[in-house]
Amino acid sequence: MIDFRFRLLAYLFLSLCVSKTFAQQQVGLDIDFFGYIDNREYKSMYTEDKTILGTLLSPQLFFAIDSNHRIVGGIQYNQDFGKHMENHDRVLPIAYYSFRNANFDFALGHMPRYDRLKDVPKIVLSDTLFYDRPNVQGLYFAYQKKSIKQALYIDWLSKQSYSQRERFVIGLSGKFRIGNFFIADDALLYHNALTSNDSIDEHIQDNGIALLRIGTDLSQQTFLDSLTIDAGVAIGFDRMRTEYTLRVSRGFISNIYLGYQSFFLANTFYIGDPQNLPNGDSFYHRDKYNRLDVGWTPLKKGNLEGRFTASFHFAPDQTSNQQAFTLRYRFGKTVWH
């Protein structure tokens, strides 16, 4: 009992000291609201026909030690519409350390996925992860200077236990600009290891993809607000240890993006070997695929953005369609300086 009281007093004293230290610097509040209605009329194999509706509210307190160092704590509250016992309803922690300056961005802990990984291509990380896995649990490190940016991230998906496998992903994402031209690289390794139960017949799975694209940004040469074109190669690999050796899948991928005022059009074309991608978009499990997005952003003011996107998925077996409306509002305020 005495030991417990001593530890409690020590904890309260330490918390008070830390709070005073932070209070001498800066304390702030950030709130990120994300609402989504995503109707997926999928008809192709390997894809799931469903409607995803819900909200994600992420209040966060940040403690700025100085202009570069910050500690962030909060929650991600995610709930589907029409809640019942089988519905999606989660509260996830946000707790991470962040260091940022002109060249470096480093974060360690439980951090929101959207902030740092929203531009990773869907063949590498599916956009469904923004609904189902809104947090990255691990670390993120990026270096940026003038015309180059390269990021490394680790997302630890599952800790090994008697009934759960150890699972994690390691990814790279970067871009190098030369005038109006750029070279973009993206890569991901997914490692699905074993449980601690030796009596189960299990096999370690290694899965990954590397994407290298060359493109050009012609936004300044046209009347459009945005015009980018790129093309490159996608090389995937898959291995189930003791079951089959390394399998390599190769393909060609290209992207076109046009934006004018509140409207945009995006097209992605893939042809090559089918890709086995547990974390990527399931449409790439075929040898030919084309995705056309037509979008409109009717709400855009300050930190508020509401976007409607109609997507058409052209595959050899079927043509699918998708309609999505997302609304994101961000609020930030310093509450103590």
pLDDT averages per 10-residue partition of the chain, 337 residues: 51 50 74 97 91 94 92 93 77 95 96 95 96 94 96 95 92 96 97 87 91 96 96 96 90 98 98 94 96 97 96 95 97 84
For residue 89, the model assigns a pLDDT of 67
CA atoms of 332 and 225, how far apart (whole Å): 28
Q: What is the pTM of this model?
A: 0.87
pLDDT number for residue 262: 96
For residue 113, give the H/E element and its range.
helix 113-117
Predicted confidence at residue 322, as pLDDT, reads 97
- pLDDT value at position 22? 46
Report the DSSP pairing between strands 304-314 and 319-336.
antiparallel
CB burial class (10 A; 0-12, 13-18, 19+) of residue 79? middle
Q: What is the pLDDT of residue 200?
A: 83
The contacts of residue 124 (CB under 8 Å, 6+ apart) are 171, 173, 186, 187, 188, 209, 211, 277, 279, 280
Name the CATH architecture for the domain at 2-336.
Beta Barrel (2.40)
DSSP code of 283? G
d(C-alpha 128, C-alpha 126), whole Å: 5
Burial of 57 (0-12, 13-18, 19+ CB in 10 A): middle
Taking the domains of the chain in order of start, what are their residue ranges? 2-336
Q: What is the pLDDT of residue 24?
A: 53
